[in-house]
Structure 1
Amino acid sequence: CYMCYICPDECYSLSSPPLPPPPSPEQKQNMSTILIAMLCILGAALLFLSYFTIIRFRAKLRRARNPTPGFAEDFADANRGPVPIHPIWHIRTVGLPQSAIDSISIYRYVRGEGVIEGTDCSICLNEFRENEDLRLLPKCSHAFHVPCIDEWLRSQKNCPVCRSPILSN
């Protein structure tokens, strides 16, 4: 319209697209069903999250009230020291007394000497270094770093490689 400045309302109505029809009752019903379903899902998620939070909080309180057994309870025998608890299965294991561990001979590693089979410790997987002290098990002749095998023998009574007993029964 070239004279829009005279009648702006008529010009606007001529140039704008028509308004869409109002939603039918069927479309309103469909939207309300979707809205109800979304609210139910949201409510269920909030309920689950609340339940999970309460369970974690109660478990934390229970752990705080019932601490793990004290250090004094970890001694099976005053002469043998603490009884190790295996970290994976929480099984109390009993190994050799320290005097028996100390009685196992220690050899100095010399490459190519032939006293010790292999070149690495099967416990820590590090290679033996020249002039390093190794403990050689008497029955099977497997060799290990002294700290590695000593720790093992405090909780086990057999070789970590072949499972042969360390001491005769």
Structure 2
Amino acid sequence: MICYLVLDLIDQQQGDPNDDIDVVHDSGLSLEELQEINCFYLKGQVNYSICAICLDGFVDAELCRSFPACNHMFHAQCIDPWLAKKPTCPTCRTPFRPRFSFLK
């Protein structure tokens, strides 16, 4: 019985393992920050085969964004809603905002 109570207490302190864990709890990007991310139309050969969000391929003349810190590329229509909720790259979790941006 004591073991059960101890394990239950540990489980409560650790939280739900299915929760989305973020080291820094931060809101998504503002419209101004989103506009800072490079947005472009694809031309010719593409080094990336698919968008990691929708898993569709990239085609010529498609509007895309390239994440500045890691250069991962996504369809603009896929990455914009993501960044409105989470300020990180969905592929590698690189933060858009520097960790110590409050020191500026």
The structure that has the greater radius of gyration is: 1
Q: CA deviation at 1:161?
A: 0.1
Asked if 1:94 is matched to 2:27, the reply is yes
CA distance in 2, matches of 1:106, 1:135: 4
For the pair 1:142 / 2:92, whether they are aligned, the reply is no
- Report the secondary structure of 1:107's partner residue: strand
Structure 2 residue matching 1:144: 3-state secondary structure: strand
Instruction: Give the secondary-structure state (helix, strand or coil) at the position aligned to 2:54.
Output: coil
TM-score (norm 1): 0.42
Amino acid at match of 1:110: K
Which secondary structure does the structure 2 equivalent of 1:152 belong to? Answer: helix
Equivalence for 1:66: none
**TM-score normalised by length of structure 2:** 0.65
Q: Tell me, yes or no, if the aligned pair for 1:117 and 1:143 is still in contact at 8 Å.
A: no
In the other structure, the counterpart of 2:54 is: 124
The 5 Å alignment of 1:47-126 reads 94-112=27-45, 117-126=47-56
Larger RCO of the pair (alpha carbons < 8 Å, separation 6+): 2
**1: CA distance, partners of 2:79 / 2:41:** 15
C-alpha separation in 2, matches of 1:139 and 1:117 = 17
C-alpha distance after superposition, 1:39-83 (max 9, x if no partner):
xxxxxxxxxxxxxxxxxxxxxxxxxxxxxxxxxxxxxxxxxxxxx
**What is the deviation of 1:152?**
0.2
Amino acid at match of 1:118: Y
| Count of residue pairs brought into register by the alignment | 79
State the alpha-carbon separation in 2 of the partners of residues 117 and 136 from structure 1. Answer: 12
SS of equivalent residue, structure 2 residue 65? strand
- Alpha-carbon shift at residue 167 of structure 1 (Å): 2.5
Pick from 80, 93, 97 the counterpart of residue 167 of structure 1. 97
Query: How far did residue 111 of structure 1 move?
Result: 3.5
Identical positions, percent: 33
RMSD across aligned positions (CA): 2.4
In structure 2, the gaps of 5 or more residues are 1-17, 20-25
Q: Which amino acid is 1:136 matched to?
A: S
